[in-house]
Structure 1
Amino acid sequence: MTEASSSLLVVDDEPSILEPLAEYLLGQGFRVSTAPGAAEARALIAKESFDLAVLDLMMPGEDGLSLTRWIRANGSLPVILLTARGDPMDKVVGLEVGADDYMAKPFEPRELLARIRTVLRRGAPHGAARRYDFAGFVMHVAERRLVAPDGEAVDLTGGEFSLLQVLAEAAPRVVGRDDLLAATQGRETHAFDRAVDNQVSRLRRKIEPDPKEPRIIKTVRGGGYTLAASVVRR
């Protein structure tokens, strides 16, 4: 996916942020649509196809967390949340409801640009496998969809899917917590250490026969995590 073909949706109720940011991203080669609130964003998502959404967390009426939940319930559109609140727990909640990354305001546009590029690459890695098969599961990378052995889709958040994708790409190697943090949440900050462990725990509850005795995602003491099941790349 090239930037010229990538379509972004930027949602913010502050024109002083929305308009300059849209102009900046347009200047970087993206196609950009804007919305001042969640209702307008829903309408655009319903009729257009986007590659990534940048959402303000604190908006009048429906906030960015609620909109992110709706996006996750209706597809796999990657989401980056923006907020003026810097509480680490707010960041953890944002990531846990399905956001792929999180930035606090005020932000440097070049940093946001780097994070957008990282999330887009994560969703469609050049030259990577399009599908991973392991333990009866089928992981479709482009569609960001995991199918269970019984043929049913597994309901994963954006962060959970990204974490599982990183483990599948690295298998059978061990992936350290710092690397998982950088790959799935785009940040190297200790405030998110528990978020990685929490995501692994939730992921295990969704794919392990017995989450208390995991056989697919194993913990390596002092090292991180590994996808222990045999992985076939297609």
Structure 2
Amino acid sequence: MSKVIIVEDDIELRDSLIDYLSECGHDVQGAGSAIEFYQTLAREDFDVVILDVNLPHYDGLSVAAHLSESNDAAIIVMTVQGAIEDRVRGYKAGADLYMVKPVDCEELAAAVLALAKKRRRSDRTPEPSSLSWRLNLSEFQLTAPSGRCVDLTRNEVRVMELIAAQAGAIVSRIELMQFIGKGVVDPDSRALDAAISRLRSKVQSECGMTLPLQTVQNAGFVFAGDIRSA
């Protein structure tokens, strides 16, 4: 039995695919948006991720690119966009298979089975601890799953402390600003966005990995990965 998640905002299509793949013997669940998927991924691992391209918050290709860097789940992109250039973008983003809607359920089930078997044969799942980001509060350091470290400023440590405490949940902008001690918060201020953008750039430059700290429009921020603090 393989663990599968279908990230699709069309509820009727998502439910029908869940039902079919479940009848084929897979453990299947669904998510209606990229953010919902990231929140689920912070708690669970999957053998196969089936992604629509047109999703709320983030498109499926950006999700595929993130997964290909940080996770070893097989990726099936499923979309109405069937032009050659669309397929090329999908494979470059990290898709193992690119399927054009409408998708035949039997073919999809066969693809899930084949990719899950290939993933198990590869036997390249790291220990859970090596998949985690690690925040050292006393040393002001963040360690990526690759093992490389980056030194943080005091405010960056405070940002990551709250994010780590609520990993997988959306942290509001106001809550984050108040936690790092900015007092009265101007909801229109872009200072926090600029600070987080600098943090992402620093982590990418020094660790060679993308910090999975996602901006949720009109809501706040969510950490789409496993992070542990000490």
What's the counterpart of residue 10 of structure 2? 14
> How many Å apart are 1:121 and its aligned residue?
1.7
Q: Which residue of 1 aligns with 2:85?
A: 89
Q: What is the CA distance between 1:111 and its match in structure 2?
A: 0.5
Please report how far the alpha carbon of residue 96 of structure 1 lies from its aligned counterpart in structure 2 after TM superposition. 1.3
Residues 38-66 of structure 1: per-residue CA shift (max 9 Å, x gap): 00000111101211111101223301001
Report the equivalent of 1:203.
none
SS at match of 1:124: helix
Q: What amino acid sits opposite 1:11 in the alignment?
A: V
Aligned residue in 2 for 1:232: none
Match for residue 71 of structure 2?
75
Cα offset, 1:74, TM superposition: 1.6
**1:59 maps onto 2:55 in alignment:** yes
Instruction: Provide the rounded CA distance (Å) in 1 between the counterparts of 2:44 and 2:117.
Output: 21
CA distance in 1, matches of 2:61, 2:92: 10
Structure 2 Cα separation of the partners of residues 51 and 60 of structure 1: 23
Residue correspondence of structure 1 range 214-229 to structure 2 within 5 A: none
Output the CA distance in 2 between the equivalents of 1:90 and 1:144.
30
Q: Which one-letter code corresponds to 1:47 in the other structure?
A: R
Q: How much does 1:36 deviate?
A: 0.1
SS at match of 1:86: coil
Q: Which runs of 4+ in 1 moved over 4 A?
A: none
Measure, in 1, the Cα distance between the counterparts of 2:114 and 2:92.
19
Q: Given that residues 73 and 119 in structure 2 are in contact (C-alpha distance below 8 angstroms), is that contact kept between their aligned partners in structure 1?
A: no
Q: What's 1:143 paired with?
A: 124
Distance 2:103 2:41 in 1: 25
Query: How many angstroms does 1:70 deviate by?
Result: 1.4
Q: Does 1:44 align with 2:40?
A: yes
User: What is the percentage of aligned positions where both structures have the same residue?
Assistant: 30
Q: Which residue of 1 aligns with 2:101?
A: 105
Unaligned segments of structure 2, at least 5 residues: 127-145, 147-230
**Whole-angstrom CA distance in 2 between matches of 1:38 and 1:61:** 6
* Partner SS for 2:58: coil
* One-letter identity of the residue aligned with 1:142: D
Distance 1:75 1:21 in 2: 23
Aligned partners of 1:58 and 1:85: how far apart in 2?
Answer: 10
Which of 89, 113, 118 matches 2:114?
Answer: 118
Q: CA deviation at 1:144?
A: 6.1
- Aligned to 1:65, the other structure's residue is in SS state helix
Instruction: Note the residue ranges of structure 1 that are not aligned, 5 or more in a row.
Output: 126-140, 146-152, 154-234
User: Larger Cα Rg: Structure 1 or Structure 2?
Assistant: 2
The one-letter code matched in structure 1 to 2:53 is: L
Match of 1:16, SS state, is helix
- CA drift of 1:116 comes to 0.9
The offset of 1:85, in angstroms, is 1.0
Distance 2:56 2:38 in 1: 15
Task: Check the 8 A contact 2:35/2:57 in 1, yes or no.
Answer: no
Partner Cα distance (1:14, 1:20) in 2? 10
Give the structure 2 partner of residue 35 of structure 1: 31
Q: Give the distance between the partners of 1:71 and 1:43, measured in 2 at CA.
A: 13
The size of the alignment, in residue pairs, is 128
